[in-house]
Structure formats: structure tokens, C-alpha cells
Chain A
Amino acid sequence: MLTTIERIVFVVLALTSVGFTIHGIKTIVDSVRKGRSAPEVKNIPASLVKAGIAVLFQRTIFRTRKILSTIHLGLFFGLITYAFVNLVDILEGFIPGFDLVYGGKHPAFPFLNSGIINTFNLIADVMSGALLFSVTVFLVRRFIVKDKQLTYRENILLNPKVKAGGQNKDSLIVGTFVILHVAARLMGQAFRLTDGADAFTPIASFLNGIFGASQTGVHVAWWVSLCWVLYILPYITRSKHTHFTVGPVNLGLAKQNPRGQLDPAVPAGVRATRTSPIPEPGAKFLHDLSWKRILDSYACVQCNRCQEVCPANFYGRPLSPSALEVNKRYLIKEATFGSHPERLLLPLTETVISAEAVWACTTCHACVSICPVGNEPMADIIDIRRRLIIDGAEIDSGVQNALQSLATNGNWMNKGKRLRGRWAKELEFPVKNASEEQVDYLWFVGDTASFDERVVPNTKIVARIFNEAGLDFGIMYQNESNAGNDVRRVGEEGLFEQLVEQNMGAFGKAQFKKIVTTDPHSFNTLKNEYPQFGGKFDVTHYTSVLVKLFDEGKLTVKNKLSNYQVTFHDPCYLGRYNGEFTAPRKLLEMVGVKFNEMPRNCETSFCCGAGGGQIWNGKVAPGERPAENRIKEALTTFDKNPSDKKLLFIVTCPKDMIMYSDAVKTTGKEGKIEVRDLIQLIAEAVGLEMPLEAEAVASAA
């Protein structure tokens, strides 16, 4: 179809384009390779295939925003189709007589029968429509509707170029490309229809009806269509649309370790140097992040699903996981394609995320769980914390107090070690000391449940229920230290290791078969992180133990609690992190309450705002707190399911008990809804008799 000169011109242009594209890809690969090592990804081909399938079915984006995700589907399949379409177009240009209209074929490709060609034409034609439609929707969403989901709040640190509209520019360029490219291609197809409409190209036939056929038109359209491709290929490597290709790859290389296990603070291969006698943990500069975290930034297209589920962002704090990713990419872009390599030597807290934002993260994992391309912005944040801590950066006075107390007392509440088991001595039966006698279940109680007067009454009920059910259990009294889950997530890796060692020493002295915890945070680290330190235990949460006790008939429901209407809050570290959604719900079913699920439940449960050390924070930021929002959510749920029953907000985490009891008060909902630990319902259902004196103590506390 093309003349010789046209061919030469196209080849030269194509080589130039490919050259710039390869340069772009190489720059990305080089930047990614400069990152620190990441935990080994096992069986890469298999996980890439798995990711490929997930991408093909667009499984990961459908976690939320169903309508927009459907439109994304059109874009996705449209672009895949167009990869083939462009290839075919080039062949058509270079191979004389290669003509696919009207099911035509070329003698050199005998396998191309008219059936295949007609199918191809039909798909290409329909997908052209789909592409035009979906891109138009997205452009309208961004530029006319100005969807807030696509913007960042004023207080969030943004690269100046992003602030100046860098992403809008990207979107506009790529959007225009798709529209003009597809339109040109469609026009080309229309001009080719010398014999009028082709049933397998309805849109092109429609256009042909208006514009007729034209050989010049075919040439012009061919050039316009493919020149756009030659321009856009290198452009993509320099824009957020690296997402097209890196997204699926990143998903394939995503974290394989349990969600609840953080990557090591000092990655393998990082050693001490003369200037830093301690191998530097975490990240201060971009290339202190592992290569995977750098790759994340190319996979991200700033759909902002993460920002939408982020409790810190909800709370008005200057944190947006997606802003973190885009800032990372722009930082590299300015250093590689731009002229500012020196900016890579600026701390991440100045270039990609503000220190205030770093300290606002609750480590709830919602951003990671929701991300369609397997990004882990939370891991960056924890790595930045790790380095800030070791560098002696100023930390919140409340957090410092907690850490200091944890270092000296093994608990964050400035309580003497020996007082840890005091609650147990106030019971009407002895609680075994697992450090001295053999037990089946070693109950790891945790700080809040041991010391906080608001939670201790529930701790005592758990003990009484275990006792009632004849469970052989014990606690470690003063030998137990804080498990360290939140210490690690605050970034104080050294203190975490110290606490692990203390607890491992205590476990070594104790004799037990299983560990049961009442605190999901302790549960998470004991289960997922202690194995990294040689502590491989069978760890369960008390809700699973209770289910077992009911199943075995050791506990029986004597009173059905049909006077309560309840909802249940999945604690991040039990639910999203460790997938335990069923045991608490099963218990609620057993005790016979009326149960309503909140809109955000299980995997999409909304964090109470206490995790990752936030509960230690001295600063209380203004605005509606996540826990307050959650209480309102619960009440709306009940409003939709009205009844005259007593409304309860059920929790299974000591921190939740504190956060939500507080939120009920601050939202003025006292008397409307009451926060209770699941164990309180169990006690009532099994008809646990509490000594009067104990009840008095409990209510006094």
C-alpha cells in the first residue's frame, strides 16, 4: 500500500520511536534496579500467569467502583485489541495486497480465512467504539465532572509538577491520543470500503455512508493513526501510563509473604559501612526503598482507590498513599528524564511524603488490600519511619513515652512488670502461671487487656469463661512483654527485636501447646512475625477457641440474646490481615442476636484509627475521627433495619473497646448504641455467674 518513500520514512520514524521507547524502558529498569533488595519472589512464572489471569478478568479493580471498573474493562480490552490492530495495519502498509476488508485475504497467509478476518474486523470495530466511549467517559469524569476522587487534598505533599497538573496533562495527552488514533483508524477503515458497507465493520460502514471511500483518505488515516502510536510509545514510558504494562507485572511480583509479616528493616545484602556502623534500616532516600517499592510507582495510575479507604486520609491528615506513589515517580522522572538528579539526595520526607503523613498511618492495610496492581505504599511508610527513628528524628511525645516505657517496663503504660498479672489475682479462682506449670493454652494477654481499667473487666470475663469451659490455660504473669506488633509498625525495629527476645525467653521457660490471644495485634505478630525469629507456635484468637469450646459442648448457650440487635467491627489485624471473619460471626449467630452487617465489613472493614502506634499519639487532630465515622455507619445500618431491640456495637479487640467507647461518647450517641466485647455477650448467653464482688469491681473500673 505504501510507496517506497513512505516506507523509508515510516521505518526511520519507527526506529526513532522504538529507540526512545527502549531508552525509556531502560531508564525505568535502571531506576528500579537501584533499589535495595526485596524478599525473594518465588516461582515468578507461575505468579505472573496468575496475575495475568487476574488482569484478564480485571478481578482486582472490581473490588470497588463497579461502574467505573466496567468502563475500565472497555479501555483494557480495547487497547489489547488495538495492539493487534496496529500490527495488522503495519502489515497492510508494507505487504502489497494485504487487505482485510470484506473478509479479504493475502495468499502469503493461507490460514487467514474469511471467518477469522471477519471476526477480527468485527472485534476491532466494536472495540474502537468501546475505546472511544470509555476514554470519553474518563475524560469527562476528569475534566468536566471533575471527580473529587481524582484529586488530592490541599495539605498533602505533592511534587510541584503534579500540583501544576502533570497528571491531567498525561490524561489529556493519552486521552486525545486514543480518540484521534481510534478515530483515524476508523476513518481509514471507512475510506477502504469501496463497495459500500461491510456487515462486520458496522461503525466504519456508518462512516463510509457519510464520507464515502477514498484511497488518499486511506493513506492519510494510516499515517495519522500510526504516527500517533509512534509518538505515544516513548511518551508512555515517561508518564503515568507505564501502568498499562507495569501494572500486571507488578501484580505478578507482589508480596508473597503473609500480609501480617513486614519485610525486614534491613534487607538482605545491606551491610554496615564506616559512616554507619549499624546497617541502615528502612529508607531515607528513594533508593533505600526496595526495588519493588520503586516499581510500585510505575504501576500506579493514581486511581486513588487507596486514598478513598485510608482512615488517615478520611481524618483529614496529610496522607494519601497514591500521592506517595506519584511523587516517587516524578522524583525519578526529574532525576532521569529531567535535569534534577540531585533531588534524589533529598530525604523522602521532603520529596514524596511529609513527616506528618508518615506518622499518621494506622497500618490498617486497607490501601494495600484494595490496590488493583499490588502496590504496598504502607511498606514505604513503615520503612521511612524505621529510618526516622534510628536517625533520632523528633517523634510525638506520646509515642516517645510509650516507647520509653516499653523499653524499660515491657508495656507502654508505664506500669511495673510485676503488676501485669494483678487482674488475675483478683479473680475468685487461681489462674495458672504458664511459666511454672504445664498448660494446654498459653494465653497471651497483651498490654491493654492487662492494665487498662476499661478493658480489664472483659479480660476477667474471658478468664472466667475459659475456666467455666474447663480449658487448661495459663498466663505468663510478669514474664509476658508487649508482643511488639505496633512497636514494629511505628518503626522501632530494635525495640521490637528486644521485645521478641524477651517473649521468646518467656515462651522458652513455659510449657504449652497453643497460644491464644485476646488482642488481634499480638495475634498478628505472634503468628506471622515471630516465626522469623524462630518462634513457630500454633497461635489462635480467642474467638476461634470459643467456637471450638461450643462445638465440643464445653460451653452451651443457655440464654438466647434475642433482645439485642448488633453489628460487628472486624479488627484490621484479625480480619484483613489474617482472614478471620467467620469465628466472630459464628459466635454472634450462636448467641441468637439479630445481626446486621455494616456496609464496610470483612476485607473492607474501616480501621478504628488506633493501630500502628496511633493510640499512643499525644496529638489529637481536629476533624471527624475514623472511629466516630464508624459509629455513625453502624447507626445507619441499624436505621435501615429498624427494630425495638437494644443496639450493640460488638468488638473483639481491646483497642477497639477503647476507641469505640470513646467515639460513642464524643459523637453523643450514648444511650443509642453501646460498645461491648463479644465476650460479654458470650458470658450472658452461657449464663456465666459472676461473683457480686467481682461485678462491683468491674463496674467501678
Chain B
Amino acid sequence: MSNDIFVITEHMDGKFSDVSFEMVGKAKELANAWGGQSVSIVVGSGISSDGFASDSTIQVDDETLNRFNPEAYGKVIEALVKEKSPRLVMFGWSATGMDLAAWLSARLGKPCVAYVKGINIEGGALIVNSQIYGGKMMADVSPEGDMAIVAVLAGSFPVEAGQGSTAATQIASPVLLDGLKIKFVEAIKPAAGDVDITAQTKLVSIGRGIGSKDNVELAEELAKKIGATVSSSRPVVDAGWLPRTRQVGKSGLKVKPKLYLMLGISGAPEHLEGMKGAELIIAINTDKKAPIFNVAHYGSTADLFEVAEAMLELL
């Protein structure tokens, strides 16, 4: 049992994600309050992990860990956690963290909080703030026992606080990594030939409210008029109305355009995660209680088709 805080960092192609730094920053703050150590955990192979501000960085290096493999990564992390018994284990609520946090919780019988937006210490006890029900509710919970696992939504903490220059300590895998049931086969790259929405300065982004595939054209026409590109929220892509390369949000791309014009997107937290950094956010959605209006700079509850058509005429 220690007051250490583990941050399970995430990386792809040698680059760490923002949420990794966000968590490290937060871990430092919490570790200070508790008198423990913040420890960045890097599971991988041959990557440079010296950029964190944590008290220490442990890099588990093994050829098998070259690519994300939930089984192998899980085994390694479980072994480390069991060995060091940290007070808190932080994952990102991301494609990788989502595979591991709840799994580890069930393996170890330790509490887990998902959709985490905030972590505070009140009277020595941990209070975790979670954004559930599609952003409609915030829950404050206190995990019982001597260890907690959290899965943190990207964008919850500042990135800068986690950036530093702590040298990583390389260790070999604490567990044998043969006989794995999951085998990495190949990486899937975004469909080639499509535009890179992260490189666009203007996006017209459409959501469920667009209604059907055929209405996508209207958005495309509008985008063309203002020199923008069409992006979307997840349901539009799941329905096959736009390619995956256009998806903004947690499971899609993070964008920071100068203009983000939203048609029919209610603003689920997963989507907000991908576009909050846009300079000018204008949202059109008929539901006046849609969470997007808490984030957008300008909004309207008018009919999106009418507005889009009227804009086309005016432009």
C-alpha cells in the first residue's frame, strides 16, 4: 500500500496522447496532496518516454508490446499494480483505456470510475466527478478502499502541467508474454484520398439531426460555399452517411478549426472532446436544452435545413 499514483499513458506511433499529459499533471497535484509519488507508466517498445513531469516514469519495454494489445497490456499493468499497490490508477477514457480500466477493476476487486471529469481530495478522501448520461448528469462519488481506478475524459485537465523531462526507467515485462490469445495482425490506416479534417480551418459538422444520408448534400453545398469541409458526429458515420475520416470526437478526430458550424449535433461529451478547442462554435439544434449550447459561442434553435438553405441564398 502506497500513496503513489499511476498514470497509464497512451501512445500511438511513438507519440503520446494529450490525455496522458493531462493525467500526469493531475497525478502530480494529487500525489503532492497525499505525499506520494506520481508515476507515469509507459507500456510499449522502443519509444522515447522522457517527456513527462511525473516524479518517475516506468517504461515496460518488450517487443511484444510494440502495438496495443489489450491482453498483453492488461497483464503487464495488472502485475505492476499488484506489485506497487498505488493509491490511484489513472487511465484515459479512450480506445485503449476503455479496454483496460473496468477489466482491471474486476480483476482486482477495486472500485472504478469512468467518464471522469474531475478528481479532488476532500479531507484525505478521494472525490471523483463523473460525467454520465450523455453529459446530462454529473456525479460525485467516493471510491471505497485503498485503491481506486479512474478513466479520465480527454480535455478534463491542462496538458502543460504534465509535460516535463523526467527520465524514464526501462524495465522488462514483469510477466511472461507468451501464449497470448490476442494477436495483432495489422494496422488500419484512415481511408486514403479523403480530406484531413484536422487540417481544415473551417468545418461544417453534421449530427443525427441531419436525418438521412440524402440531406448530407445540403451540408456539403453549404460547406462548399464558405470554403469549409463537412465533418460529423459518430451516429452519422455509424449510419454510413459519411466516411470514418470525417468523424469528430473521442472515437474520431480532434479538430481545432477557426470555424465549427454545427448542424443537428446535440453535443454528447464524446463529441465535445473532439471540437472544444475550435475558435468559433456556432450550433443549430432544435432542442433548446441540448448540451451543445453550453459550449457553443453562438446558437439557434431554428430548423437547420431552413437556416442552411437561407444561408446558401445569402452567401
Contact = CB atoms under 8 A, between A and B. Distances in A.
Query: Do any beta carbons of A and B sit within 8 angstroms of each other in the complex?
Result: yes
Interface of A: 396-398, 401, 414, 453-454, 617-620, 662, 665-666, 700-701
Nearest to A454: B303
B301 A398 contact: no
Contacts of B211: 398, 401, 618
A676 to B, nearest CB: 17
Contacts of B208: 414
Contact of B215 (A414, A454, A618, A700): A618
Contacts of A619: 212, 214
A397 B213 contact: yes
B85 interface: no
Contacts of A665: 306, 309-310
B195 interface: no
A619 B212 CA distance: 8
A618 B309 CA distance: 17
Nearest to B209: A414
A619 B214 CA distance: 5
A700 to B, nearest CB: 7
A701 B310 CA distance: 16
Contacts of B45: none
A62 to B, nearest CB: 42
Interface residues of B, number: 14
Contacts of B303: 453-454
Given A453-B286, A665-B306, A397 B301 contact: no
A291 to B, nearest CB: 39
B239 interface: yes
B292 to A, nearest CB: 16
Nearest to A666: B309
Nearest to B310: A665
A700 B301 contact: yes
Interface in B280-300: 286
A397 B239 contact: yes
A396 B213 CA distance: 10
A282 B137 CA distance: 46
Contact of A401 (B212, B214, B286, B301): B212
A494 B239 CA distance: 25
Contact of A397 (B212, B302, B306, B309): B212
B301 to A, nearest CB: 6
B213 A701 contact: no
Which residue of B212, B301, B310 has the most chain A CB atoms within 10 A of its CB atom? B212
6 contacts: A396-B212, A397-B239, A453-B286, A618-B211, A620-B214, A701-B301
Contacts of A617: 212
B309 A398 contact: no
B273 to A, nearest CB: 23
Contacts of A454: 303
A454 B302 CA distance: 8
Which residue of B211, B213, B306 has the most chain A CB atoms within 10 A of its CB atom? B211
A619 B310 CA distance: 20
Contacts of A662: 306
A398 B212 contact: yes
Which residue of B214, B215, B302, B309 has the most chain A CB atoms within 10 A of its CB atom? B214
Given A453-B301, A618-B211, 5 more contacts: A397-B213, A397-B239, A401-B211, A618-B212, A618-B215
A251 to B, nearest CB: 41
A692 B212 CA distance: 37
Nearest to B286: A453
